[in-house]
Structure 1
Amino acid sequence: MAQLSFFSAEAVPPAVTDLGGLLAAQGQVVSSREGARVSVVVDSVWRAEAIAEMMRETGLDAEIGRSEEDRPLVRTAAVPQLTTLAARWTRGAVKAVPEGWVPGTRAQRAWVLASGRVELDGQRYVLGLDPHAPDTHNVLAQSLMRAGVAPTIVGNRGPSPALRISGRRRLMHLAENIGEAPDDPDARRNWPHI
């Protein structure tokens, strides 16, 4: 039985700022007169369901639908509670990482839910980055490093940029931070192993 870390995502109260982890991945934030909306297109229904649950834990409504490419899409309503998050994560109309951002455990969990996957039989783990926001990649690598998980940028010029985490100690630190995998076989296969 795994022991719950005192600092894991399960031990920290939910906050709207946790959704920054979705924006570190391929998530988007859009502002309107009503407020702001966070959305993310993912590759699996289990990811969409777990992200929707995380959104609801922060007190927001969440809906799951399909993208134009027929992939699972999860999003909030446009609400005032997300305007500060939107302002911090954008410069004009472009996604930007907030200055000095350090992803907390729940933001790391959101990032893993949006785009994390096991690589090389569990020896490495990758967190996806937004291919449409290449200026965020180096900053996100530094942000994750400040959180105690040192990554390497891979595929920066391709369609699937990511941060690769390797080494038992780093993988263990990430796994302790994000807590248990959702109760789904595909989720467990895509969760960091230690």
Structure 2
Amino acid sequence: MSLSGLGDTGKAEPPPALFPAPESDAPVPARRRGGAPRNGPPPAQDDEAGRQLVFFGAEAAEPTVADLAGLLAGPGEVVRMGGTARLSVQVDAAWRVHVLVAELAARGLAASWEPTEGERHAVRTSYTRVLKPLAAAWLHGQALRPPATFHLTGRRLRLWLAAAGTPEPPDAYLLRLGANDQECWEPIGVALAAAGLAGTLLSPNEGGPAYRITGRRRLARLAELVGEPPRAAPPEAWPT
């Protein structure tokens, strides 16, 4: 089963029909460079500084393959075959399939999907040389581990949220991790803190593995970094 990234499948089987197929949701180039304001009223000011263009926000740079490190920070997996690699991720909702396929298409990567157990869906790329550097940076034998230079940008966080972000009302948001990637959990927490999103690590026994981001200021920071919600995402699923 393959998706074009444009909300349809041509002659292929239709995407998971848990909602009407959205319009194209491929990211568009940034339109607010140089600190240009958003449309509408200016955002509120906080105690420390006014809300400004976030230089590492999702809208501050063009999409690149390196952004896919955000999927590996969450439950994404990458495997190598010869001089190629393939990235895959299992998600729990159909809207995530649409968003991720569009994000992959925006980076020149065709993606396919298939239903899996427990009403989940697997999204994966083809094997391609384009993903070889990502695999080389993250794979140590068969184990997944972030490179020493790993950091979280807005676009990486946006992909992580699209794959495995879950709101936890009234004032928390969960960023789910790979269940078998324990070596990743601590360095990813360090990267979150460096991005102004210090969170609490939840163990599998506590409903994780996941990082819980709490507090209005951190949630506002998260919303600022990841940008506007994708068209396919339910309004309540995205931080605002």
Change (3 A) 1:138 1:144: same
Following superposition, the deviation at residue 142 of structure 1 comes to 0.3
CA distance in 2, matches of 1:77, 1:184: 23
CA distance in 2, matches of 1:185, 1:149: 22
User: More deviation in 60-69 or 87-96?
Assistant: 60-69
CA distance in 2, matches of 1:118, 1:148: 18
User: More deviation in 68-77 or 136-145?
Assistant: 68-77
RMSD across aligned positions (CA)? 1.9
The residue matched to 1:74 in structure 2 has which SS? strand
Structure 2: segments with no counterpart, 5+ residues: 1-39, 44-51
Structure 1: segments with no counterpart, 5+ residues: none
Contact 1:134 1:156 survives alignment (8 Å): no
- Alignment match, 2:129: 80
Structure 1 runs, 4 residues or longer, greater than 3 Å off: 1-7, 156-159
- Alignment match, 1:119: 168
Following superposition, the deviation at residue 184 of structure 1 comes to 3.5
CA distance in 2, matches of 1:110, 1:11: 15
Change (3 A) 1:35 1:159: farther
The alignment covers a number of residue pairs equal to: 191
Contact 2:92 2:120 survives alignment (8 Å): yes
Q: How do residues 1-194 of structure 1 correspond to structure 2 at under 5 angstroms? A: 1=40, 5-7=53-55, 8-33=57-82, 35-121=84-170, 123-156=171-204, 160-184=208-232, 186=234, 188-193=235-240
Contact 2:93 2:120 survives alignment (8 Å): yes
Contact 2:176 2:210 survives alignment (8 Å): yes
Following superposition, the deviation at residue 96 of structure 1 comes to 0.7
Q: Per chain length, whose mean CA-contact separation is higher, i.e. which structure has more relative contact order (CA < 8 Å, sep 6+)?
A: 1
The residue matched to 1:30 in structure 2 has which SS? strand
Following superposition, the deviation at residue 149 of structure 1 comes to 1.4
The residue matched to 1:36 in structure 2 has which SS? strand
The residue matched to 1:81 in structure 2 has which SS? helix
Contact 1:5 1:177 survives alignment (8 Å): no
CA distance in 1, matches of 2:233, 2:146: 32
The residue matched to 2:59 in structure 1 has which SS? helix
The residue matched to 1:82 in structure 2 has which SS? helix
- Identity among equivalent positions (%) equals 36
The residue matched to 2:112 in structure 1 has which SS? strand
The TM-score normalised by the length of structure 1 is 0.90
CA distance in 2, matches of 1:117, 1:157: 17
Change (3 A) 1:108 1:78: same
- Whichever residue aligns with residue 162 of structure 1, its letter is A
The TM-score normalised by the length of structure 2 is 0.74
